[in-house]
Amino acid sequence: MHIPDGFLNAATAAGTYVISAGGVGYGLRRLAGKLGEKQIPTLGVMAAFIFAAQMLNFPVAGGTSGHLVGGALAAILLGPWTGLLVMTCVLLVQAIVFQDGGITALGANVLNMGIISVFVGYYVYRLVSELLKGKRLAEPVGGFVSGWTSIVVAAVACAVELALSGTSPLGVALPAMAGMHALIGIGEGLITALVLGFLRATRPDLLALEKI
């Protein structure tokens, strides 16, 4: 899902940079002085896990690649604004050090895999958990649905950006990205649900961290 340099026109790249910079800047202000002793190590571990998971890329027709994202999991464990910070750090390192995703497309990649995947995943999880409140499957089902939905919506946003830039027609990019990520999303959802279940059994205190 990482968009490389040269795939976005100047207007789309600039527009996504403005949106992402505004979101990250506001998030940093929200987080100022609020991260506790337990949240900071968890933030680091989550960033390392997501970084490793995103290194597994699958080629996708119509413009770019697909992979696990991890935004929903970060948001569920840490909260949406902390999750956005985690994803932004991961994407920055990937773009600058590993050239995985272009510098000019960094705004779009943060928008798609940071803002969109994180906030969609977080609020879908809350909705599903509320609908299944009190039921044993609330957490794993919420984790699966949020993981799947977050990655598919982010892939759709990526396809729209490619189409707006004239890189690939929407009729090509959208089915390619949404179709591939609907399958990848199954893995994303399962991993999200399994990690939540594992933490519930071994470290329930991490699930009880304040969500920011």
Residue pair 176/63 in contact by the 8 Å Cβ criterion? yes
What pLDDT does 60 receive? 54
Predicted TM-score of the model (pTM) = 0.90
More confident call, 29 vs 61: 29
The per-residue pLDDT for range 8-28, each reduced to its tens digit, is 999 999 999 999 999 999 999
Residue pair 126/171 in contact by the 8 Å Cβ criterion? no
In a domain, 45, yes or no: yes
The per-residue pLDDT for range 42-72, each reduced to its tens digit, is 788 888 888 877 776 666 555 555 567 889 9
Identify the weakest region by mean pLDDT among 17-26, 39-48, 86-95, 150-159.
Answer: 39-48
Which residue range is the domain that position 114 belongs to? Answer: 10-207
In a domain, 165, yes or no: yes
In terms of Cβ atoms closer than 10 Å to its own Cβ (0-12, 13-18, 19+), residue 156 is: middle
In a domain, 66, yes or no: yes
CATH number at residue 20: 1.10.1760.20
In a domain, 3, yes or no: no
